[in-house]
Amino acid sequence: MRPKTRLRRTLVWLGTLFVMAAICLPGAWVVFSAFRPNREILARPAIWWPEQFGLGNFMRMFGIGGEQIAIPVGSYFMNSLIIALTSTFVAVFIGMAGGYAFARFRFRGKNAIFLGLMLSRAVPGIALSLPLFMVWSRLGLIDTPLGLIIVYVAMNVPFTVWLTDGFFRQVPVEMSEAAQIDGCTRWQAFWRVEFPLARAGIASAGIFAFLISWNEYALASVLTRSTDSRTLPVGLMDFSAQFTIDWAGMCAMAVLIIIPALILTFIVQKHLIAGLTFGGVKG
Amino acid sequence: MATVNLSQVVKRYGKLEVVHGIDLDIAHEEFVVLVGPSGCGKSTTLRMIAGLEEISGGEIRIGDRMVNELPPRARNVSMVFQNYALYPHMSVRENLGFSLKIAKQPASTIDERVAEAADILGLSDLMDRTPAQLSGGQRQRVAMGRAIVRHPDVFLFDEPLSNLDAKLRVQMRTEIKRLHQKVRTTVVYVTHDQVEAMTLADRIVIMRDGYIEQVGSPLELFERPANTFVAGFIGSPPMNQVRARIAAKDGGPVVSITDSLDLPVPGRLRDQVRADQDVVLGFRAEDLMPEGHELKTDGALMRFKQTVSIAEPLGTETLLFTEFGQQEVLSKMFNPRPVAEGEEIGFALNIDRLHLFDAASGRSLEG
Ligand SMILES: Nc1ncnc2c1ncn2[C@@H]1O[C@H](COP(=O)(O)OP(=O)(O)OP(=O)(O)O)[C@@H](O)[C@H]1O
Ligand SMILES: [Mg+2]
């Protein structure tokens, strides 16, 4: 290897390292803090390398070993899980149907509808919070899981439609036709051939929809009030009292929020292998 | 019995009519090739037979059933697509057995029929691969295997060889012919390659702009093209076509090409022409024979000398570009010798094998 190339490569590595560090450090800081007592986090001068490291924050959160903080983490967690999973499931299902229709059928106003869907994502969600609040309170949907589920489905559908449309487009129409000639109904052809081939897209749509619902804060903070429907991200704010913030507890809960998202991403990830459609048609 | 009958079949996309009321009767076990230039409606016709495209008018029957309203799965046809359309997420074995599985056949029947098809097509060693792990020719074979396992009434092929390189195409062409000899089934085969059509077909259907131009056996189309389009489409090289006019002379009507060049009208066509008719004179390159390389014939010959502008050696024959009545024509030299460009050569034109077409309609003057 020529020295010049080697130098350049080293520089590229260093640059990458720096960027990665900049991206990861805040996350790592949150994770570290989750295992340290508040005292140490707030210490001045700062203690960079943790001295006391333990599960105290988590135990406090779940009331193990006497001390318990007054935040119903368990209810928040269940609310989050129910709302995120249900809304993801519904959004992916609607998105799949819509994406398939956009990819396969011609109909009047197709482009306009598609554009409309995309533009609806351009409106910042928070701008809708007041009208949404008023409508929801008339309908009695304030502080109910159903209320949030509807909002999240509406938020996610344009995106899931767009994503699955792209993936269904990549599946040649001949796949479905071949299956129909092989004896399938259109419905069977979809589930046996087109769906498995677009699975990667549907899985990615699912992950995105889940993460968006799971982490959403702005609208949830307006539309929820109590343990009936309050979700984890809103619950994080419970750690800030009038004059103090329990950083340690907050970080522990943040870790708790990250874990299911990570688990889900890992589970779904193996379906993300794209390129399954290659080889079925001419090379 | 799987005959296929099309009567007055029309296809419209919105207001645009692309197939204009075609009639076609395909016999049991017949190999019919639909051929024609791009956009002439071959695929559309095939897809209407398959049920993948709605029929806008007329009637299609397979066997004794009217199939207009039947979905593809109820027609018992199988189809090989241009891009093969193998299921990428299934192994070769699963691809082959898919239709039987959908039909809920017992596993033993599926295994047996899949093995039989694999055997016929030489796929037995590839059964556990996925389509991505196959070469183009192998994919092509899997696509054919998938079509034959079902024992369908009709095979439909839509340009199945057009994605293969030239050598493999010739090889697979023979293989398809052999397959048809083994698995005698009615076949409708679409291609735009006239050589494929000639080599495979029992009968060729030539289409243009949504109309059928002519139906006939390969030799019929070659020997008696119904119009200038067919004459220009079938045969390689296509038939020479020279503008001319009928003139009355003492000995009978003649084809006058230039003031100084005319030919007697062949006897069989004498009653079909009228004086001053604008015609197209057609003759095959092999009927314009270079001196010393003539084929045996009892036909009357007309001899003339002309320079060669281009010579294209092809091995068994050489194509010579020359002029006849100041219009470019091709001659075929069999058992060729080297020919220099610009060389003057004597030619013999076989007058008995001339074709005449009406210039205005393009139709053959043959009775
Ligand atoms: N979905 C469609 N909408 C409108 N017109 C169409 C549609 N599909 C095909 N056509 C038109 O119908 C005509 C016939 O098409 P078809 O695919 O049958 O041609 P083809 O003979 O198979 O040509 P090729 O050799 O290029 O495959 C073409 O002019 C084409 O533009
Ligand atoms: Mg076509």
Measured from CB, residues less than 6 Å from any atom of ligand 1 are B 13, 16, 18, 36, 38-44, 192
Q: With a cut of 60, say whether residue A237 has pLDDT above it.
A: yes
How high is the mean pLDDT of chain A?
Answer: 85
Amino acid at A197: L
Instruction: Tell me how far apart the alpha carbons of residues A180 and A192 are, in angstroms, rounded to a whole number.
Output: 11
What residue owns the CA closest to ligand 1's atom 7?
B13
Rg of chain A, C-alpha, whole Å? 24
Task: Find chain A residues with C-beta within 8 A of B131's C-beta.
Answer: 279-280
Secondary structure, 3-state, chain B: CCCEEEEEEEEEECCEEEEEEEEEEECCCCEEEEECCCCCCHHHHHHHHHCCCCCCEEEEEECCEECCCCCHHHCCEEEECCCCCCCCCCCHHHHHHHHHHHCCCCHHHHHHHHHHHHHHHCCHHHCCCCHHHCCHHHHHHHHHHHHHCCCCCEEEEECCCCCCCHHHHHHHHHHHHHHHHHCCCEEEEEECCHHHHHHHCCEEEEEECCEEEEEECHHHHHHCCCEHHHHHHCCCCCCEEEEEEEEEECCEEEEEEECCEEEECCHHHHHHCCCCCEEEEEECHHHEEECCCCCCCCCCEEEEEEECCEEEECCCEEEEEEEECCEEEEEEEECCCCCCCCCEEEEEEEHHHCEEEECCCCEECCC
Cβ proximity of A157 and A91 under 8 Å: yes
Q: With a cut of 60, say whether residue A277 has pLDDT above it.
A: no
A177 and B72 within 8 Å at the Cβ level: the answer is yes
The pLDDT assigned to A248 comes to 83
DSSP β-bridge partners for residue B80: B157
Cβ proximity of B238 and B265 under 8 Å: no
Mutating to test ligand 1, I would choose from B35, B44, B49 the residue with most ligand atoms within 8 A of its C-beta, which is: B44
Among A61-70, A114-123, A149-158, name the one with the lowest average pLDDT: A61-70
Top residue of B89, B105, B139, B154 to mutate, by most chain A CBs within 10 Å, is B89
Q: Which residue of A has its CA nearest to B134?
A: A279
- In tens, the pLDDT along A185-229 reads 999 999 999 999 888 888 888 988 999 999 999 899 989 988 888
Contact B86/A at CB under 8 A: yes
B73 and A181 within 8 Å at the Cβ level: the answer is yes
b/e burial code for range B122-161 (CB count within 10 A of at least 16 → b): ebeebbebbbbebebbbbbbbbbbbbbbbebbbbbbbbbb
DSSP characters over A141-155: -TT-HHHHHHHHHHH
B89 and A276 within 8 Å at the Cβ level: the answer is yes
A179-185: average pLDDT: 94
The pLDDT assigned to A71 comes to 79
What residue owns the CA closest to ligand 1's atom 29?
B39
User: Which of B71, B84, B134 comes nearest A180 by C-beta?
Assistant: B71
Q: How far apart are the first and last CA of chain B?
A: 35
A:B CB pairs within 8 Å: 90
Measured CA to CA in angstroms, residue B123 lies from A283, B116, B145 at distances of 18, 10, 9
> Could you tell me the distance, in angstroms and rounded to a whole number, from the CA of residue B20 to the centre of ligand 1?
13
Among A50-64, A151-165, B50-64, B226-240, name the one with the lowest average pLDDT: A50-64
b/e burial code for range A14-35 (CB count within 10 A of at least 16 → b): eeeeeeeeeeeeeeeebebbbb
Contacts of A263 (CB under 8 A, 6+ apart): none
Q: DSSP 3-state assignment of A37?
A: coil
Instruction: Tell me how far apart the alpha carbons of residues B98 and A11 are, in angstroms, rounded to a whole number.
Output: 54
Contacts of A109 (CB under 8 A, 6+ apart): none
Contact B85/A at CB under 8 A: yes
CA distance A156 to chain B (A): 29
> Could you tell me the distance, in angstroms and rounded to a whole number, from the CA of residue B44 to the centre of ligand 2?
7
Instruction: Tell me how far apart the alpha carbons of residues B42 and B35 are, in angstroms, rounded to a whole number.
Output: 7
Instruction: Tell me how far apart the alpha carbons of residues A149 and A147 are, in angstroms, rounded to a whole number.
Output: 5
Q: Which residue of A has its CA nearest to B103?
A: A183
Cβ proximity of A215 and A221 under 8 Å: no
What residue owns the CA closest to ligand 1's atom 31?
B39
The pLDDT assigned to A110 comes to 87
Contact B150/A at CB under 8 A: yes
The pLDDT assigned to B42 comes to 95
Task: Find chain A residues with C-beta within 8 A of B148's C-beta.
Answer: none
The structural domains of chain A, with segments of one domain joined by +, span: 3-61, 73-282
Instruction: Tell me how far apart the alpha carbons of residues B213 and B204 are, in angstroms, rounded to a whole number.
Output: 10
Contact B309/A at CB under 8 A: no
User: Which of A180, A182, A281 comes nearest B84 by C-beta?
Assistant: A281
- In degrees and rounded to multiples of 5, residue B216 shows phi and psi of 180, 170
Q: DSSP 3-state assignment of A245?
A: strand
Residue B176 sits at the vertex; the CA angle it makes with B172 and B181, to the nearest 5 degrees, is: 145
Cβ proximity of A172 and A281 under 8 Å: yes
Task: Find chain B residues with C-beta within 8 A of A197's C-beta.
Answer: 88-89
Mutating to test ligand 1, I would choose from B34, B40, B233 the residue with most ligand atoms within 8 A of its C-beta, which is: B40
> Could you tell me the distance, in angstroms and rounded to a whole number, from the CA of residue B44 to the centre of ligand 1?
6
Counting other chains too, the contacts that B13-17 makes at CB distance below 8 Å and 24 or more residues apart are B17/B56, B17/B210
Cβ proximity of A169 and A250 under 8 Å: no
The pLDDT assigned to A68 comes to 67
Instruction: Tell me how far apart the alpha carbons of residues A32 and A26 are, in angstroms, rounded to a whole number.
Output: 10
DSSP β-bridge partners for residue A48: none
Amino acid at A52: Q
Top residue of B44, B84, B146, B164 to mutate, by most chain A CBs within 10 Å, is B84
The pLDDT assigned to A13 comes to 94
Instruction: Tell me how far apart the alpha carbons of residues B79 and B86 are, in angstroms, rounded to a whole number.
Output: 11
Q: How confident is the model at residue A273 (pLDDT cuts 50, 70, 90)?
A: low
Q: What is the side-by-side order of every strand in the sheet holding B344-350?
A: B288-290, B344-350, B301-307
Q: With a cut of 50, say whether residue A276 has pLDDT above it.
A: no
Instruction: Tell me how far apart the alpha carbons of residues B79 and A182 are, in angstroms, rounded to a whole number.
Output: 9
Asked whether the whole model's pTM tops 0.90, one would answer no
> Could you tell me the distance, in angstroms and rounded to a whole number, from the CA of residue A120 to the centre of ligand 2?
40
User: Which of A181, A276, A280 comes nearest B86 by C-beta?
Assistant: A280
Q: Decide which of A279 and A103 is more confident.
A: A103
Total number of residues shown for chain B:
367
CA B293, chain centre distance (Å)? 29
User: Which of A175, A182, A185 comes nearest B99 by C-beta?
Assistant: A182
Task: Find chain B residues with C-beta within 8 A of A188's C-beta.
Answer: 102
H/E stretch holding A219 reads helix A218-223
What residue owns the CA closest to ligand 1's atom 17?
B43
b/e burial code for range A226-250 (CB count within 10 A of at least 16 → b): eeebbbbbbbbebbeeeeeebbbbb
Instruction: Tell me how far apart the alpha carbons of residues A178 and B81 are, in angstroms, rounded to a whole number.
Output: 8
Interface of A with B (CB under 8 A): 172, 174-175, 177-185, 188, 192-193, 196-197, 276-283
User: Which of A172, A183, A281 comes nearest B99 by C-beta?
Assistant: A183
Q: Decide which of A247 and A144 is more confident.
A: A144
Note down pLDDT in tens along chain B; length 367 residues: 699 999 999 999 999 999 999 999 999 999 999 999 999 999 999 999 999 999 999 999 999 999 999 999 999 999 999 989 999 999 999 999 999 999 999 999 999 999 999 998 889 999 999 999 999 889 999 999 999 999 999 999 999 998 888 888 998 899 899 989 988 999 999 999 999 999 999 999 999 999 999 999 999 999 999 999 999 999 989 999 999 999 988 878 899 998 888 888 888 888 888 888 999 999 999 999 999 888 888 888 899 999 999 999 999 999 999 999 889 999 999 999 999 989 999 999 998 899 999 999 999 998 6
> Up-side HSE of residue A280: CA atoms within 13 Å toward CB?
26
The pLDDT assigned to B310 comes to 94
Instruction: Tell me how far apart the alpha carbons of residues B283 and B241 are, in angstroms, rounded to a whole number.
Output: 7
Helix axes A247-269, A73-104, angle to 10 degrees: 40
Third-level CATH fold of A73-282: MetI-like fold (1.10.3720)
Q: Closest Cα to residue A182, out of B65, B53, B87, B4?
A: B87
Instruction: Tell me how far apart the alpha carbons of residues A211 and A207 are, in angstroms, rounded to a whole number.
Output: 6
Identify the sign of the CA torsion B179, B184, B188, B192.
positive
Q: With a cut of 80, say whether residue A67 has pLDDT above it.
A: no
